[in-house]
Amino acid sequence: MQTGEVLDAIGGLSSQLKAYAAKLPAIVHLTVVPTGIKPKPEAIDDYEAIVSRFRNQSAGTAYKGLNEAFVESLEAFEVGKLLGSVQPLLAVLDHLERMQRDQEITTDQADARRIAEYRAGLHKILPGNKPELDGAGRGL
């Protein structure tokens, strides 16, 4: 397994998260909070397929330590927890950068660029990360 394949998995999961986040209302009423707004079963199946494929391919490689974060993201996605889905993927990106710095893996410029792009994309998904809200909550 190569770094590019790990990034392909993160890209696929990020795409699923973006599609799910786009369907969420800007304001979630408190009556919905206990049950949450869950992704469609097809989206969950696609997400699970990506995680499963990654787990199978990463067995016996330097990337097998990332499996737990991918599964954590899947479990959060299944129940509609957007923040809980994004945070483990950001942790995977941090881990990849650490592995590169410690020379456990090698990455090229394209991989480094993809890591930065995925990080930026995941940060945009996070709730409260809207440019139109800059300055909100700071008083008059």
CA distance 88 to 76: 10
Q: Could you tell me the pTM of the whole model?
A: 0.82
pLDDT in tens, 99-123: 999 999 888 999 999 999 999 999 9
pLDDT in tens, 16-74: 999 998 887 766 554 544 455 789 999 999 999 999 999 999 988 999 999 999 999 99
**Is there a contact between 72 and 88 (Cβ–Cβ < 8 Å)?**
yes
